[in-house]
Structure 1
């Protein structure tokens, strides 16, 4: 059945049935039965094709320039989008790694969609690039630049002209990121 499964950290809260459904989804996306997914396989997912950040999300499946996505990697990225269990009492062994679908890990994932050069900061230029993807031609370039300037300026607490991860998390502290970054694909 599933030859090399994802690490226990990812599957701990996944039922065997959910993991099996994910495996079937992985196999269905692997149209040529290669045993791995390529960027082209993921580009066939309708929700990603119409998402303005679809290419950036697809990039997250292929860290370090990898060209092949195995099943554990597929589950690892999707785990960030797993809704947080309402029944989960929130008590966790501090020695255990934080679940990938925790608020902090969801924020890290979102941050990396903006941090295009992976330098640990979101510059005005990076903010502008992402805004262009998100709004397209509906807004003038001048308006986009103004939005990018204002967004970076409001979040930039240390005055370095960029948004660090800490500043990013502070600027989103009132946002319900747990719900906004949830996909019910795993249930």
Structure 2
């Protein structure tokens, strides 16, 4: 698995499966490897942010710029681990951890009001004013027992989501 042009061995496949909690079958791993090799245009063994931008579904995502920070320079194993959160077989915990990483763009382990506001802006685009976004987010935080000055850790974020439901 050192370079993208190498062939996956049975050991490699099993190692990748284990790395992503067996969410993908061996055939799915092989298919993902073929896609990885297509994206890794220079056969460097990792995919750059620029190479990710060649995926139309990725660039159409309103959160693509935030996601790019998470996917830049992924090797195959990490590529599959990243994609595993999107699997129907992924646990709620895995999905929540990925969502939290989207909010925690500076990777300090906390999501601030500003972080959450930026994600809301990315998602709402021109359909909401800055004032409307602030008002909505403030109200949602208040209803969940938080304030604009709160910093949410992953555990807080999970509690926050639970309080919203």
Distance in 2 (CA, whole Å) between partners of 1:35 and 1:61 is: 14
Structure 2 stretches lacking a partner, 5+ long: 1-6
The answer to whether residue 73 in structure 2 is matched with residue 81 in structure 1 is no
Where in structure 1 do 4 or more consecutive aligned residues deviate above 6 Å? none
Structure 1 stretches lacking a partner, 5+ long: 63-67, 85-100, 177-187
Please state whether the residue corresponding to 1:57 is helix, strand or coil.
Answer: helix
Q: Which has the higher contact order (CA 8 A, sep 6+)?
A: 1
Task: Judge conservation of contact 1:37–1:69 (CA < 8 Å) in 2.
Answer: yes
Task: Judge conservation of contact 2:113–2:150 (CA < 8 Å) in 1.
Answer: yes
For residue 3 of structure 2, what is the aligned residue in structure 1?
none
Q: Give the alignment's Cα RMSD to 1 decimal.
A: 2.6
Which of these residues, 136, 143, 161, is aligned with residue 147 of structure 1? 136
TM-score (norm 1): 0.71
Task: Judge conservation of contact 2:23–2:84 (CA < 8 Å) in 1.
Answer: no
Task: Judge conservation of contact 1:29–1:37 (CA < 8 Å) in 2.
Answer: yes
Report Cα offsets for 1:60-87 as digits up to 9, x if no partner: 224xxxxx22111111111111112xxx
Please state whether the residue corresponding to 1:121 is helix, strand or coil.
Answer: coil
The answer to whether residue 23 in structure 2 is matched with residue 48 in structure 1 is no
> Compared with structure 1, are the counterparts of its residues 30 and 9 closer, same or farther at alpha carbon in structure 2 (3 Å cutoff)?
closer
Which of these residues, 66, 70, 74, is aligned with residue 75 of structure 2? 70
Aligned residues: 155
> Compared with structure 1, are the counterparts of its residues 12 and 165 closer, same or farther at alpha carbon in structure 2 (3 Å cutoff)?
closer
Distance in 1 (CA, whole Å) between partners of 2:163 and 2:139 is: 18
> Compared with structure 1, are the counterparts of its residues 150 and 158 closer, same or farther at alpha carbon in structure 2 (3 Å cutoff)?
closer
Task: Judge conservation of contact 2:117–2:134 (CA < 8 Å) in 1.
Answer: yes
Distance in 2 (CA, whole Å) between partners of 1:155 and 1:174 is: 5
Distance in 2 (CA, whole Å) between partners of 1:158 and 1:48 is: 33
Task: Judge conservation of contact 1:120–1:165 (CA < 8 Å) in 2.
Answer: yes
Distance in 2 (CA, whole Å) between partners of 1:159 and 1:148 is: 8
Distance in 1 (CA, whole Å) between partners of 2:148 and 2:141 is: 10
Instruction: Judging by fraction of residues, say which structure has more helix.
Output: 2
